[in-house]
Amino acid sequence: MRRTNEGEALTSLMLETFRLNGALLASGNQLTKPFGLTSARWQVLGPIAEEILTVAQIARRMGLARQGVQRIVNDLESLGLIVLKPNLDHKRAPLVALTETGKEVMAEVDKVQAVWVNKLADGLSERQIKQALKVIETVREGIE
């Protein structure tokens, strides 16, 4: 069976998304390196900067493997950026929260990321970006 024109276009979008992911990870590594982070660590810190979560919840929200998130959580704990707290709802699934140091690091990373992303957004309209976001969300939801 051949792809439809829409199928061809979506395949091109998917391939470009893979390339974008690689570029984002490389850029994220450069942005966060001065703070002792990597893109993977930053990706795990992001959701817990907003709310306290379990490892499984972080993994689901970020589309990552739970085991990989657990490894990174262990690293972040040893660096003093997060703390594991008792979870009254599930004794074997502690809650992951930022320490004061973790909050300070994330605030600094956010400042650097704002400069970087604002430069990247130069020349794009908010409307264009929101349209692209909607397409990507729709494809992800279809896959899930």
Q: From residue 53, give the alpha-carbon distance in Å to each of 47, 50, 57, 84, 133.
A: 8, 9, 6, 10, 25
Spans of all domains in the chain? 36-143
The pLDDT value given to residue 105: 97
The pLDDT value given to residue 89: 87
**Contact call for residues 76 and 53 (beta carbons, < 8 A):** no
Please report how many Cα atoms fall inside a 13 Å half-sphere around the Cα of residue 142, on the Cβ side.
7
Q: Say which residue the tokens 């959580």 belong to.
A: 73
The whole-number mean pLDDT for each consecutive block of 10 residues of the chain, a chain of 144 residues, reads 95 96 97 96 96 96 95 97 93 94 97 97 97 96 92
The CATH class, in words, for 36-143 is mainly alpha
The pLDDT value given to residue 90: 85
